[in-house]
Chains A and B, each alone.
Chain A
């Protein structure tokens, strides 16, 4: 924060004033992360204009071609343009991540408030539920359910949402407990304040910061989760160009062309790195206490 107290640096000061995001944008790695995230979002929005070809159009005369002037990143085993598939793949990534995070956020907030605020036996029941969900590595839980119910997009979102709920519930619960300990809450309750008022006025404002960090940190995890499921064949189904599907197609022809794996792998790598850099900087700026608590 070396810009503070240097009135000449107007740009830095106005960036600082952007609510929530501002301080993070002044850190080099945070800014880099933000740019990557921004490019990713732009790609999802502008996909039809960026992609030179239809992502599922096959061309049997152009199988597994290396990068060229016609196909900037080459083609896959059905002669589909890899750049177009990657670009549209970003849409699948985001359309899986957003509803998943939304489910986890709403579900986790609800369970966390309930268990933290009401407490008692309900708290214990909810904790045991969360523990049971977390008894599985996330991927394995998803496999068990998807193997049975089938990998429809709705099921994938549901399963991933379920796997991410405990994180949000625990953060919410911890915040509720720490707010509830304050004397002013006791005072306000004695003055006749309703629970709804306590939750809205005191608990929620305290939860928003940690939850925002969690969302930023979880988005890349959900994206790699979806791509991983799709790679195994239990996620988004071909011919849809999920990055995981591109990897899985590339894996089958790994001896003939490295490009599908190379590009899709890089896309995943850069996107997750961007979100994580941004999320971590956000966390360090918003809540230094949490620093280093979540690295996975």
Chain B
């Protein structure tokens, strides 16, 4: 267990290091003068000089990389080119909104996806199971931005039941939740379908194992077998996937945030791209990569803890 843990941790540190190096040398691939093309055609000579020194573009590549990695490790993404405010403070302002969105989507997916999967597994090949199968596939394949736009169109623009924009008045919890509903649903739809299928598959697998058959032979009631023994084991893969889900929801939140004009990591990157503010884009992307990798790591550990068998096998397939 300990060896596995260390190996996995070491790998993660290495990957994060490569990610940082990658993001800092990316600027070398810009054709021509990087500072000039980052700022666009209307930049003044002063601005070009300023961003060049801000991003260390006037220094050798290895110094650029070293500076970037060093500063990042200290939580310092530099100051914003236009306002002079630290970029990290912008991120601190918005990251909570993205976390709220990701967690509420994941909550929705769990609340709806798991019961649907349980129903399908306990009534395999019933007509409702077949219908649910098609619905789950449709949910999985539905791009989140299409879901978001449709929800916006129906519930905000046409019916006017829910707000279309922003996060509501500051300090008003109910208003915040009302603003959270549509983006969360848009983001959750894929995961509702995915969890429903995953739970169905793993539950059916468990219900076919010998220990369930033995329990039946002992005359235990179906309900006891099901909730006390089968479901617990069947949910192990689901729990592991939830960690991955949290990471990818953080990344996937961009569309929901842009469509519903919510502040968050996604709209932060989106706005930075439109403002041609590459240091901000880079900081936002890096933060999301860190969260993504961390969520995956936690998911792996939780999985290993819940199901001790997997440590014996290869960690990577």
Write the residues of chain A forming the contact surface with B, with a CB cutoff of 8 angstroms.
29, 127-129, 131-132, 135-137, 139-141, 143-145, 147-149, 170, 174, 220, 224, 227-228, 231-234, 247, 250-251, 254-255, 258, 261-262, 265, 268-269, 272-273, 276-277, 280, 291-292, 295-296
Kindly specify which of B176-184, B212-220, B266-274 makes contact with the partner chain: B266-274
Asked if B142 CB lies within 8 Å of chain A CBs, one says yes
Give 1 or 0 for each of B192-207: 1 = CB within 8 Å of chain A CB.
0110011001000000
B49 within 8 A of A: no
List the B side residues contacting A231 at CB < 8 Å: 145, 255
A258 and B158 within 8 A (CB): yes
A147 to B278, CA, bound (A): 7
Chain B residues near A272 (CB-CB < 8 A): 141-143
SS class, residues of chain A in contact with chain B: helix
The answer to whether A234 and B288 have CB atoms under 8 Å apart is: no
Beta-carbon nearest neighbor of B133 in chain A: A29
B63 within 8 A of A: no
One of A29, A132, A261 near B149 (C-beta < 8 A)? A261
Cα–Cα distance between A112 and B235 once the two chains are bound (Å): 32
Q: Which residues of B sit under 8 angstroms from A268, Cβ to Cβ? A: 143, 146
How far does the Cβ of A103 sit from chain B's closest Cβ, in whole Å?
A: 17
Smallest distance from the beta carbon of A252 to chain B beta carbons, Å?
12
13 cross-chain CB contacts under 8 A: A139-B252, A140-B292, A143-B281, A144-B23, A147-B281, A148-B27, A232-B254, A232-B255, A254-B149, A261-B149, A280-B137, A291-B201, A292-B201
User: How far does the Cβ of B189 sit from chain A's closest Cβ, in whole Å?
Assistant: 11
**Chain B 249-271 residues near chain A, CB threshold 8 A:** 250-252, 254-255, 258-259, 269-270
List chain A residues, Cβ under 8 A from B248: 137, 296
Contact A135 B153 (CB under 8 A): no
Residues of chain B within 8 A of A291, CB atoms compared: 201
CB of B149 within 8 A of CB of A251, answer yes
Beta-carbon nearest neighbor of B140 in chain A: A295
CA distance A102 to B14 in the complex (A): 29
On whether A174 and B292 interact (CB within 8 A), knowing A135-B19, A136-B19, A144-B281, the answer reads no
B47 located at the interface, meaning its Cβ lies under 8 Å from any Cβ of chain A in the complex: no
